[in-house]
Structure 1
Amino acid sequence: MKPINRFVCCIFIIFFCAGCAQKKDASLDLPTIENASTKINGVSFVAAADSLSARHIVALQTVHPNYVTVMPFGFIKGLNHPEIIYNQKRQWFGETYEGVAQYVNMLHQNGIRVMLKPQIWVWNGEFTGYVEMASEADWLQLEETYKNFILDFAKVAETENIEIFCVGTELEKFIEHRPAFWRELIAEVKTIFNGKVTYAANWDEYKQVPFWDALDYIGVNAYFPISDQKTPTVEETKIGWGRWKTELQTISDKENKKILFTEYGYRSVDLSGKEPWRSDREMTSINLKAQANLLEGLYKSVWNEQWFAGGFLWKWFIANDKVGGARNTQFTPQNKPAQKIIAKYYGP
């Protein structure tokens, strides 16, 4: 850095400190998170090998999100393995410290806030809810490596002025066996990170999470079964949400916290509302209408509820021109009728 005179330095410090004293939200031309009339209209960003560019932002803005989830992954070799590997050179750029910072800076420059959601990926794609150690020594090692993983990214979140940090995703057995560890971890995260903090519980797990009182939002990956119909209508979808709305509001009232859908979405296949969590390749019957109807029914059912903070659509790829489309059976709404539904409800 080139030297500057003392007077200029003092002026810089005065303005810098004044800016730090303001809420983080003041840096973005968006209403504050606490504004009850404002929902988190988010998408879950899939990390890529490439950096984030202006053309990626232009495609993203077609659905008008005010939030994006950035998701760096840590990897473990199996459900009983205690070591997490992360921030490696062989990982995709978007999963590294450098990549997260680049993504966040680009998003912030374009008026989009961020939730940072570090996640575990088990080799062979096994469900993280079943991660469970066989011995006390392994539990202690898992706790140590997981703490390092989360705290390292919490430091990135604070440095980059990220708005929300998620301490974990769908780790039911880990929480069941080690609840004290999680309270200690959350407390330590809060000594590093000054934004909002949540945890992403699976739809059938969130009622058992014992530490919602320590967090800012009740995070739910909202893959609730909604309909047994091959192509549910919007009205059938709204009816299907009735039971779950009552349950969610009850938990929200009990904990005095708003519900945040840390993930939600549907595949563009037949019966996509029956078991929305399914990501296997066995479901091959393309059904674009089902995906669009289920999303519209969800927005009409819960988005305006007072107990609801908003949610993050699963999922969005940065290379918009290379994904989705009429022959795609996966969760992404890109280049499908569902994309227009999201733009309609997320839009101004």
Structure 2
Amino acid sequence: MFIKGMTYGWNSKRGDYRQPYALDSLKKLKETGSEWIALAFYTLQPNIYSTDIPFDYGVTMTDRDIEHAVKQAHELGLKVCLKPVVNSADGIWRAHIGFPEEEGAQPYWDAWFRSYTNFLCHYAELAEELGCEMFCLGCEMVATEKKTEHWTAVIQRVRQLYSGPVTYNANHGTEEGIAWFDQVDLIGTSAYYPVASRPGDSEAAMLEKWLPIREKLERLHAKFGKPIAFLEIGCRSALGCAAMPWDFQHTDLPFSEEEQANFYSSVIKTFWDQPWFAGFFWWDWSVSLYPLEEAKQNRGFDIYGKKAEQVLKEWYAKPRIGSESFV
């Protein structure tokens, strides 16, 4: 099983999945050769120290939204990884959600994990009912990852409700700190590794930077015996973004589809033939796409109408065999 995938749906508001433009976007996503989507959506806890994860009617996608998107994807022949995410309403990155490791903190950890388990179980049950082909347990929850006993209990509870393969989306550079990767079916990571030394760097330079990263991830695979996939990976079409692929804030950078295309090509060439590597969910494909004639002005992560789209189409059209199964 090899994932030729794309993230779809992020930063959409309630009701967006059920609009005509969403189906049009999903059809264009399918035309890239993608066979999977990660349907990624979020809710907000009040701040990084909150112990309660609420359903926010003004923010959180409804089950009706999710059901509609999954059914449309399945009708197009796309497999779905359901990816519920918790963000913090105070604007601090979710990696910092957690509590200090000091005496008296344990009740707070217990309370947060109770709430998080309830949050996940709701969507695990929904994923089972809708026939989603994979379920993601969390995304870049770095401060929580040291709580092995809590995560073990979360995974056991999810598996009682969802019968398919489960994964967890670590963050680049922190994958080796997770002791409980033996309990997932697929190790996932956000592979926003900086692989450029200067703006406009060449594909050859990026290829060289990817090699030690590949060696590191292969060691992680050997440690746990699990295939590894990039649950998130991408780069904006802006000059200098291959040196900071995670960046979404520097909106003043000049447009550069070449740098984005070099990033895509270098990643795929490095990992495509590795038998332990399970594939890609690129970041990301918008529910509401810009008009094609505006592609050369768009400096976001989307690849629609850009050189990176052609790179991806050419690779996704190729057969890929020999990956280790995670099912």
Q: 1:219 aligns with which of 188, 196, 212?
A: 188
| Aligned-pair CA distance for 1:52 | 5.7
| Aligned-pair CA distance for 1:266 | 0.6
Partner of 1:317: 286
Partner of 1:98: 64
Contact 2:40 2:84 survives alignment (8 Å): yes
1:233 counterpart = 2:202: yes
| Aligned-pair CA distance for 1:137 | 3.2
Contact 1:52 1:103 survives alignment (8 Å): no
Partner of 1:307: 276
Q: 2:99 aligns with which of 133, 153, 160?
A: 133
Partner of 1:43: 6
One-letter amino acid of the counterpart of residue 71, structure 1: A
1:175-199 CA-partner distances (Å, limit 9, x unpaired): 22x2211001101111111111010
Partner of 1:260: 229
> Superposition pairs for residues 285-304 of structure 1, below 5 Å?
285-304=254-273
Q: May I ask how many residue pairs the two structures share in their alignment?
A: 307
Partner of 2:321: none
Aligned with 1:273: secondary structure?
A: helix
Q: 1:196 aligns with which of 152, 155, 165?
A: 165
Higher relative contact order (CA 8 A, sep 6+): 2
Q: 2:35 aligns with which of 53, 66, 69?
A: 66
> Could you list the runs of 5+ residues in structure 1 that have no partner in the other structure?
1-32, 34-38
| Aligned-pair CA distance for 1:322 | 4.7
One-letter amino acid of the counterpart of residue 295, structure 1: Y
> Could you list the runs of 5+ residues in structure 2 that have no partner in the other structure?
319-327
1:168-225 CA-partner distances (Å, limit 9, x unpaired): 111111122x221100110111111111101000011111111111111111110112
Partner of 1:149: 119
| Aligned-pair CA distance for 1:343 | 1.4
Partner of 1:162: 132
Measure the CA separation in 2 of the matches of 1:56 and 1:287. 23
Contact 2:221 2:228 survives alignment (8 Å): yes
Aligned with 1:118: secondary structure?
A: strand
Contact 2:37 2:81 survives alignment (8 Å): yes
**Computing the radius of gyration over CA atoms, which structure comes out larger, 1 or 2?**
1
1:228-271 CA-partner distances (Å, limit 9, x unpaired): 12112222221110110111111111211111110000111222
One-letter amino acid of the counterpart of residue 76, structure 2: N
Measure the CA separation in 2 of the matches of 1:262 and 1:199. 8
Measure the CA separation in 2 of the matches of 1:83 and 1:108. 33
Measure the CA separation in 2 of the matches of 1:164 and 1:322. 31
| Aligned-pair CA distance for 1:279 | 2.1
Aligned with 2:304: secondary structure?
A: coil
Measure the CA separation in 2 of the matches of 1:150 and 1:296. 35
1:101-142 CA-partner distances (Å, limit 9, x unpaired): 111111111110010111012124321111122533332221
Q: TM-score, normalised by structure 1?
A: 0.84
Q: TM-score, normalised by structure 2?
A: 0.89
Aligned with 1:73: secondary structure?
A: strand
One-letter amino acid of the counterpart of residue 225, structure 2: N
Aligned in 2, Cα 1:127/1:298: closer, same or farther, shift over 3 Å?
A: same
Aligned with 1:229: secondary structure?
A: coil
Measure the CA separation in 2 of the matches of 1:279 and 1:209. 26
| Aligned-pair CA distance for 1:282 | 5.6
| Aligned-pair CA distance for 1:285 | 2.3
| Aligned-pair CA distance for 1:283 | 5.3
Measure the CA separation in 2 of the matches of 1:56 and 1:168. 25
